[in-house]
């Protein structure tokens, strides 16, 4: 069964460093999403991506964040100059149609720890 | 602003009990998503529904668009059902309902 994969499973970084979180969506899916979940809190939408551009983003997704689809399979989230409060689990998801009305499939997450 | 509220926040049950988790939202929608988050953190999609009822195994989800309310039911609950159940609407997630089922 096709699945969304994410790497690494756990990333530890120093405050101020840049990190890139990687996702491989399901191959025939066209819409891609990043979410984050701070420990003990609810899942929060960051950004959605379609046709090589951002289609929607939340207030959390500021200039510190960027997304890219560098090739036909990977979908990345870059966090520049990480802060302590960026420590969270980051989930990638994909869907074959626009997500609000269509099922999203989630990856296992990357746990980011900023020291 | 879209708010998604779930109740209860925490739920404990004995194996075999019938479980109901509720979700209310504040904006008009075309579909609502029920998800399950395992203790290890992984998120699994359970249902996407836009009207009426859907059933998958022991899980049943219902939605009333007019009342802006959805319920997730688990029949004959089992310890392996222990997880956090999350309702999501228009990319906004509820805080989840933590379910623990004891043998």
Task: Give the HSE-up count for residue A85: Cα atoms under 13 Å, Cβ half-sphere.
Answer: 2
User: What SS3 state is found at B81?
Assistant: helix
- Residue A98: the pLDDT is 60
Q: What mean pLDDT is predicted for residues A62-70?
A: 94
| Cβ–Cβ pairs < 8 A, chains A and B | 52
Looking at chain A, which residue has its C-alpha nearest residue B90?
A: A100
Would you call B31 and A100 a contact, using CB atoms and an 8 Å cutoff?
Answer: yes
Q: Which of B31, B42, B94 is nearest residue A42 as measured by Cβ atoms?
A: B94
Looking up tokens 């960026």 gives A86
Asked if B45 and A89 come within 8 Å (Cβ–Cβ), the reply is no
- Residue of chain B nearest A94, judged by CA positions: B45
In this prediction, residue A49 has a pLDDT band, given cuts at 50, 70 and 90, of very high
Q: Which residue has the tokens 């720890």?
A: A113
Cis ω for the linkage preceding A8 (within 30 of 0): yes
Spell out, as residue ranges, where chain B has pLDDT lower than 70: 1
Whole-angstrom CA distances from B103 to A36, B2, B8, B39, B78 are 33, 38, 21, 17, 7
Kindly report the nearest CA distance between residue B35 and chain A, in angstroms: 10
Distance from CA of B36 to the nearest CA of A (A): 11
Chain CA centroid to CA B8, Å: 10
Strand order from edge to edge, sheet including B4-7? B4-7, B19-25, B69-74, B59-64, B52-56
Least confident of A17-31, A93-107, B8-22, B65-79: A93-107
Q: What is the pLDDT of residue A72?
A: 78
Over 60: is that where the pLDDT of A100 sits? no
Q: How far apart are CA A49 and CA A33, in angstroms?
A: 6
Residue with tokens 């689990």: A89
Does the distance separating the beta carbons of A43 and B88 come in below 8 Å? yes
């Amino acid at each position: 069964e096709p699945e969304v994969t994410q790497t690494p499973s756990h990333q530890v970084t120093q405050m101020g460093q840049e990190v890139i979180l990687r996702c491989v969506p399901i191959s025939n899916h066209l819409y891609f999403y990043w979410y984050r979940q701070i420990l003990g809190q609810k899942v929060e939408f960051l950004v959605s991506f379609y046709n090589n551009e951002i289609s929607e983003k939340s207030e959390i997704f500021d200039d510190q964040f960027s997304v890219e689809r560098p090739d036909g399979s990977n979908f990345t989230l870059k966090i520049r100059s990480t802060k302590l409060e960026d420590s969270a689990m980051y989930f990638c998801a994909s869907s074959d149609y626009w997500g609000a009305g269509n099922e999203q499939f989630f990856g296992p997450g990357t746990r980011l720890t900023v020291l | 602003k879209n708010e998604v509220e779930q109740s209860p926040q925490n739920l404990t049950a004995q194996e075999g009990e019938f479980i109901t988790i509720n979700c209310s939202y504040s904006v008009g929608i075309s579909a609502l998503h029920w998800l399950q988050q395992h203790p290890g953190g992984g998120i699994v999609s359970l249902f996407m529904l836009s009207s009426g009822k859907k059933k998958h195994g022991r899980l049943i989800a219902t939605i009333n668009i007019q009342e802006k309310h959805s319920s997730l039911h688990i029949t004959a609950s089992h310890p392996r059902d222990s997880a956090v159940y999350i309702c999501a609407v228009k990319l906004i997630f509820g805080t989840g309902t933590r379910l623990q089922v004891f043998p």
